[in-house]
Structure 1
């Protein structure tokens, strides 16, 4: 089950395409309680970039609110991203950047990185617009709110909403795993997210946003972060709805990766175990980053009892009581048809991979699972370095079936929940292996409207406009929903189009379908998810 936790949490994101203003922008000024801010506007959208929501953080310490300033704060450009941890060696790094559409963040990266960006309809009246608060993925290892895929200009302009994208600390800088730190100070990246939400609650009305109508949304590890915020809400609850895309963590057991990686880090840095925390703190940031990358050390959130209890599924099922510990806000939950492919490319031995993913107690049933998938006609032969059976197994086990479970269990306890299934692949965003399809994170540029216009198809343009409107409609009126019936029914988005295949002409971008055909194998995994819940309940 540890492998499932890692896959659910180690979720990558991103796609490349700029939609910047160019040279036509004009200054736009907003007054906030902290001071005056000068952004830029093209007449339809006001951008306020690199706004500081946290003071320069002390390494391995919880974030602190930003102070006010004298004069005018220049919010016309992005500020530093948090320190990234990518794959190693170089060919693996480049492949990860390409497949997860993850360019290095614009500008520099550093420890002083607690900044956010606001995209608002030009001239919006204070407090008048729904707000959508984006949390990026990246496996809790990398990410930035400022990469081009998350440019909120199209979203704000076309849907009349305020978009907020944030930075938060990742890898060892965000989740150190040091035994010298109390549990309450281990999930620094999650605390960063909460501080950014505090900033939005206190300031967003000055930029046109309604602080009482905030939807938190994210993909992959960002989606896991959203679920953590929903099941372990701050007080008062700073959001009215939540969207989770390709990543929920409430069906998995905790990872111990951070604690193990911290010990390896101490050895690699040649630190004395008696004062390891001070030793690691004293390392130059570049040296610490290099060690973590070269040693391929992974750091994830832990169950700290503050930001994350780990009992989200149990608490959800018990949330009909008046003492519910979760926030019962409306949910929009979904996954992609080929989420798992990028995680298993090059891993062609199905027995070995499935054996590592399943709990140890099911080691003697690996062949049963593989044969069940083969009986559905899923290709078992390897195509180059791609195994379609493995891709489908990981897609369903780690993304699709957990999404189904959370959506349907939410509805059963009276929480409004809608579900979607993204099923489209386009030539201008395809990954360079056969079978990539509707890959992990491929829907983000469609939702944000930042997909490449080069070689785009009419269906892709229509799908992007439609999905963007569905997401925005949900944010504007969460209880009314995105435009289709609640779970267990789901919205099949994208008509199954593929690069080099059907292009979708004349087909609807959405069909509301019953879950039976799409989720036919999810029943295989329900006992595994239930066993994880029972284990957490005992603890």
Structure 2
């Protein structure tokens, strides 16, 4: 039976910090300990459980809805899901490119299999004036990341009269794993976690002042990819009204078949020294993580026949998707951080041939080859995110859904090494510019504009408002998109020559796989 979170009154208790005070919220049958941010006038709920801990016999099982306790301590963030330092290393690479001190970003304090929690930021709780809800799912290559990374804190976004929720989900070998001895499990435990979190939000967010019929699911990189997976999954139908996919199109071709997942599971078993699934299940969480470290980014969503029923590109091309309005986009230099300092043309040609063996010269002819490193970034950015995003935008527009596409091109001061890099747009969306990021008036102006676009889309399904003088045109037949830079402007047909070539090849492959 669902226990109501209906808030009856607040009791202010002891000071928590200079900015926050601890509060007690008495509800019908539940007592919630949370925090009130006096400076920002926000209620903050950190670490509310949405599922039973997936430990012991629940490892590699679908998440189990939690029986709520009489008291919920939501005063502090809970452990991140099991992971190594992958995401911290990524931040350190970004910081290093700005010639700043890597100690400005610290690895998460605690990781655990017990990690299925969510966080809520809201300016008020009023069931008579329900707010739109924006649910954030973090990125990290299905390998790392957590819901409360500094860039993802929702205090500034929530001041735009929306409720912000961020969720944790199982990662890597714990989240995307299918052993041959698993018969009933999908293997997509991370995606199943997200679906259960969305159901929890649908069922409970009204008691926090949110509108369960107006939920926007948004994420970046792997998080954006997961938004696109669930947009095309019947298991998530009706759980969110709108989606925002930031740099997430790569998953149209970056998944595992069941056979590939089985092979990977056996490799993991052999590395760990275990003999079967039960032996693996009993392995200590740290030992299991250590065994999986010998494999590079192997654990990905699986075409399981339930959550993901078939090749994702095929589903979008055929319009076999949920009724979801969409904002989608990518950054100008998604791949630059990952390009070697001194690449060769031979290496570049071999990279192109991996994806387009019969079109190497054609694609090279579409690129500006005056700077080989930038040419490789241009190819990689389009291959991984921009052109798959164009395919998704085209497909969703054909189904009659409202689609808005953006292209983030802002290069901060001091960003000469990585320009408008992968993830660069996130601090503008949340207004969480890190200390290592040079931030000037142009950045703050763009932040205000992007926050307005994002929250207006969540509120009404259109990013436009009187606050932003530049109208963002719907994708439509002209394939409109908005360039987000110090000067915001509308253009049409993003990377049309390169994307037409890549999408044609992707469509052909989707029919044969």
Taking only aligned residues, the RMSD between alpha carbons, in angstroms, comes to 2.6
> 1:350 touches 1:370 (CA, 8 Å); kept in 2?
no
Counterpart position of 1:39: 34
Counterpart position of 2:272: 269
Counterparts of 2:77 and 2:30 in 1: how far apart (Å)? 18
SS of match in other structure, 1:332: strand
Counterpart position of 2:45: 48
Counterparts of 1:152 and 1:444 in 2: how far apart (Å)? 12
Given candidates 489, 497, 501, the residue that maps to 2:480 is: 489
1:411 aligns with 2:397: yes
Shift of 1:31: 4.9
Gaps of 5+ in 1: 1-20, 88-92, 320-324, 382-386, 496-507
Counterparts of 1:296 and 1:331 in 2: how far apart (Å)? 32
1:77 aligns with 2:76: yes
Shift of 1:265: 1.6
> 1:127 touches 1:206 (CA, 8 Å); kept in 2?
no
Counterpart position of 2:499: 522
Counterpart position of 2:112: 110
Counterpart position of 1:195: 196
Counterpart position of 1:391: 377
Given candidates 421, 439, 450, the residue that maps to 1:456 is: 439
> 1:55 touches 1:63 (CA, 8 Å); kept in 2?
yes
Change (3 A) 1:271 1:354: farther
Shift of 1:234: 2.9
Deviations 1:218-248 (A, max 9, x none): 1111111001111114365111100001012
Counterparts of 2:132 and 2:192 in 1: how far apart (Å)? 24
Counterpart position of 2:449: 466
> 1:350 touches 1:390 (CA, 8 Å); kept in 2?
no
Shift of 1:185: 2.8
Higher relative contact order (CA 8 A, sep 6+): 1
Change (3 A) 1:171 1:34: farther
> 1:79 touches 1:107 (CA, 8 Å); kept in 2?
no
Counterparts of 2:327 and 2:48 in 1: how far apart (Å)? 28
Change (3 A) 1:455 1:318: closer
Counterpart position of 1:505: none
Counterpart position of 2:136: 134
> 1:30 touches 1:207 (CA, 8 Å); kept in 2?
no
Shift of 1:426: 1.5
Change (3 A) 1:285 1:315: closer
Given candidates 330, 338, 354, the residue that maps to 1:335 is: 330
Counterpart position of 2:22: 27
Change (3 A) 1:442 1:481: same
SS of match in other structure, 1:234: helix
TM-score by length of 1: 0.82
Counterparts of 1:418 and 1:297 in 2: how far apart (Å)? 31
Counterpart position of 2:8: none
Change (3 A) 1:346 1:413: same
1:535 aligns with 2:479: no
Counterparts of 1:288 and 1:78 in 2: how far apart (Å)? 24
Shift of 1:73: 1.6
Counterpart position of 2:219: 218
SS of match in other structure, 1:211: strand
> How many aligned residue pairs are there?
474
Counterpart position of 2:3: none
Q: Report matched runs for 1:131-530 at 5 Å.
A: 131-157=133-159, 159-182=160-183, 184-234=185-235, 237-249=238-250, 251-252=252-253, 254-255=255-256, 258-272=261-275, 276-296=276-296, 298-319=298-319, 325-346=320-341, 348-356=343-351, 358=353, 362-373=356-367, 377-381=368-372, 387-427=373-413, 430=415, 434-452=416-434, 455-478=438-461, 483-487=471-475, 488-495=479-486, 508=487, 510-515=488-493, 518-530=495-507
Deviations 1:303-352 (A, max 9, x none): 11211123444444544xxxxx5212110000000011123335723443
SS of match in other structure, 1:521: helix
Counterparts of 1:160 and 1:136 in 2: how far apart (Å)? 22
Counterparts of 2:244 and 2:195 in 1: how far apart (Å)? 16
Counterparts of 1:126 and 1:145 in 2: how far apart (Å)? 29
Counterparts of 1:398 and 1:172 in 2: how far apart (Å)? 23
SS of match in other structure, 1:185: coil
SS of match in other structure, 2:43: strand
Change (3 A) 1:85 1:24: closer
TM-score by length of 2: 0.86
Counterparts of 2:91 and 2:51 in 1: how far apart (Å)? 28
> 2:186 touches 2:306 (CA, 8 Å); kept in 1?
no
Change (3 A) 1:254 1:166: closer
> 2:79 touches 2:112 (CA, 8 Å); kept in 1?
yes
Gaps of 5+ in 2: 1-15, 96-101, 466-470
Counterparts of 1:445 and 1:353 in 2: how far apart (Å)? 32
Shift of 1:268: 1.4
Q: Which moved more, 1:240-249 or 1:109-118?
A: 240-249
Deviations 1:479-522 (A, max 9, x none): 57675111111100014xxxxxxxxxxxx3x1111226x44422
